[in-house]
């Protein structure tokens, strides 16, 4: 079974092809350079750029996959959450294509895509498990008791983890996206030189908080600490905070398998720290952690491919919580 997956939720156009649950093609047209000089994503520019590139990207994916468009069995696209104008480009393109082909169209929740990306190389994994999404817009910890059921255990009270990396990087005079930049600079720094505390010490729940950390970065700069030392301490504290919350959730739920996904899941310090926690931790393979189309096709394969409901009448949604808990 061939599934085409499309994601245009933010500033990357993602098109992927999945065959029988395996990723065959994953193409991402990044808009980072387009938005860089504005210091953030400009929604209208993102939508226009998606419109420009989406058809070419789908044609290229079919070419690389070695199939004709008529061989697609199902088309899946991100329904939300995201920038509505951007979402609509991929979502309506996917609907139109499915309708023209007479094949089912499946709507996918963006976070569901991120979750299933972490299972791309682990077809044997079955629920229940924990799933942490640490991306540019989310820091959400879910318990997944069954395929397609998501119970929110905790989320960030303020900034998302990736957002904190991006904002702190900006304060430190680094480029965008900030995560990889901070990771690079941190290697040259000494974390023990900067006194930044781990957020939400003493909480009994599973909340995250990163905005105080970002403010502490600004204060540390004012006090004259070296940027490399600040970057090292910021990363250490962010990683420690995430590790504390997920380890507590593992203890509380009794679940020993944790999926960690979203752009921050690429952070080597986070990987190393979590792997030392005695849990079974699964990360997305390279290229599947940040936004892409293959993860949307994978989610469709896992949750709906066996019994696809044609969802042509379902509208896109900028705001869309992921909770289909019974």
Q: Does residue 257 contact residue 129 with C-beta atoms inside 8 Å?
A: yes
| 74 in Cβ contact with 300 (< 8 Å) | yes
The answer to whether 103 and 74 are in contact (CB under 8 A) is yes
Interface positions, 4-23, toward ligand ATP (CB under 6 A): 10
The answer to whether the Cα torsion of 230, 205, 151, 325 is positive or negative is: negative
Residue 90 binding: pick among Fe ion, ligand ATP, none (C-beta 5-8 Å cut-off by kind)? none
Q: How far apart are CA 111 and CA 261, in angstroms?
A: 9
Q: Which residue is associated with the tokens 């420009």?
A: 52
Task: Decide whether 183 or 291 has the Cβ nearer to Fe ion.
Answer: 291
Residue 291 binds ligand ATP, judged by CB under 6 A: yes
> Please, which residue, 116 or 225, has the CB nearer to Fe ion?
116
* Interface region with Fe ion, contact rule CB under 5 A, candidates 64-72, 202-210, 274-282, 290-298: 290-298
Q: From the list 13, 267, 303, 311, which residue makes contact with ligand ATP (rule: CB under 6 A)?
A: 267
Contact status, residue 244 vs residue 208, Cβ threshold 8 Å: no
The window from 67-75, 142-150, 151-159, 172-180 that contacts ligand ATP (CB under 6 A) reads: 172-180
Nearer to ligand ATP, 134 or 144 (CB): 134
The helix (H) or strand (E) run that includes residue 51 is helix 43-65
Residues within window 101-140 making contact with Fe ion, judged by CB under 5 A: 135
Query: What distance lies between CA 222 and its chain's CA centroid?
Result: 33
CA 14 to chain centre: 13
Judged by CB under 5 A, the residue of 12, 159, 181, 291 near Fe ion is: 291
Contact 94, 104 (CB under 8 A): no
Question: Judged by CB under 6 A, which stretch of 49-57, 123-131, 212-220, 257-265 contacts ligand ATP?
Answer: 257-265
Of 49, 112, 166, 229, the residue at the interface with ligand ATP (CB under 6 A) is 166
Nearer to ligand ATP, 98 or 288 (CB): 288
* Member of 88, 132, 245, 264 binding ligand ATP (CB under 6 A): 264
Binding-site partner at residue 180 among ligand ATP, Fe ion, none, CB < 5 to 8 Å by type: ligand ATP
Cβ proximity of 162 and 144 under 8 Å: no
Residue 7 found at the interface with Fe ion (CB under 5 A): no
189 counts as binding ligand ATP under rule CB under 6 A: no
Could you tell me how many residues of this chain bind ligand ATP (CB under 6 A)? Answer: 22
Closest distance to ligand ATP from the beta carbon of 148 (Å): 19
Angle separating helix axes 161-171 and 178-186, nearest 10 degrees: 70
Cα–Cα distance list, 157 to 135, 166, 194 (Å): 14, 17, 24
Which helix (DSSP H) or strand (DSSP E) does residue 58 occupy? Answer: helix 43-65
Q: Which stretch binds ligand ATP (CB under 6 A): 18-26, 44-52, 64-72, 260-268?
A: 260-268
Annotated binding site for substrate: 133-137, 166, 179, 183, 267
CB nearer Fe ion, residue 164 or residue 250: 164
Nearer to Fe ion, 229 or 291 (CB): 291
Bridge partners for 12 per DSSP: 30
Contact by Cβ (8 Å): 132, 242: yes
DSSP secondary structure letters along 246-296? HHHHHHHH---EEEEESGGGG-HHHHHHHHTTTSEEE-PPTTSSSS-SHHH
Q: How far is the CB of 290 from Fe ion (least distance, A)?
A: 7
> Which residues contribute to the site for ligand ATP (CB under 6 A)?
10, 110, 135-138, 162-163, 165-166, 177-180, 183, 262-264, 266-267, 290-291
> Which residues contribute to the site for Fe ion (CB under 5 A)?
135, 291
């Amino acid at each position: 079974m061939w599934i085409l997956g499309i994601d245009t939720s933010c500033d990357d156009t993602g098109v992927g092809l999945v065959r029988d649950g395996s990723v065959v093609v994953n193409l991402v047209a990044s808009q980072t350079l387009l938005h860089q000089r504005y210091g953030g994503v400009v929604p209208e520019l993102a939508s226009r750029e998606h419109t420009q590139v989406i058809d070419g990207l789908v044609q290229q994916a079919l070419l690389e996959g070695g199939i004709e468009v008529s061989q697609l069995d199902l088309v899946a696209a991100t329904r939300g959450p995201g920038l509505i104008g951007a979402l609509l480009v991929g979502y309506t393109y996917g609907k139109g294509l499915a309708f023209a082909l007479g094949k089912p169209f499946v709507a996918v929740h963006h976070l569901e895509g991120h979750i299933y990306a972490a299972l791309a190389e682990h077809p044997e994994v079955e629920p229940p498990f924990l799933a942490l999404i640490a991306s540019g817009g989310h820091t959400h910890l879910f318990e997944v008791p069954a395929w397609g059921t998501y119970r929110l255990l905790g989320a960030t009270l303020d900034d998302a983890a990736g957002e904190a990396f991006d904002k702190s990087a900006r304060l430190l005079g680094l480029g965008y996206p900030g995560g990889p930049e901070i990771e690079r600079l941190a290697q040259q720094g000494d974390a023990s030189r900067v006194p930044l505390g781990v957020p939400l010490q003493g909480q009994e729940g599973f909340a995250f908080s990163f905005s105080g950390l970002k403010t502490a970065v600004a204060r540390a700069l004012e006090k004259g600490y070296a940027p490399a030392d600040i970057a090292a301490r910021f990363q250490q504290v962010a990683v420690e905070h995430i590790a504390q919350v997920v380890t507590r959730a593992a203890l509380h739920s009794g679940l020993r398998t944790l999926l960690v996904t979203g752009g921050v899941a690429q952070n080597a310090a986070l990987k190393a720290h979590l792997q030392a926690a005695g849990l079974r931790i699964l990360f997305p393979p390279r290229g599947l952690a940040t936004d892409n189309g293959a993860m949307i096709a994978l989610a469709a394969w896992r949750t709906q491919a066996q019994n696809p409901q044609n969802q042509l009448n379902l509208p896109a949604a900028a705001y869309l919580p992921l909770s289909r808990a019974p």
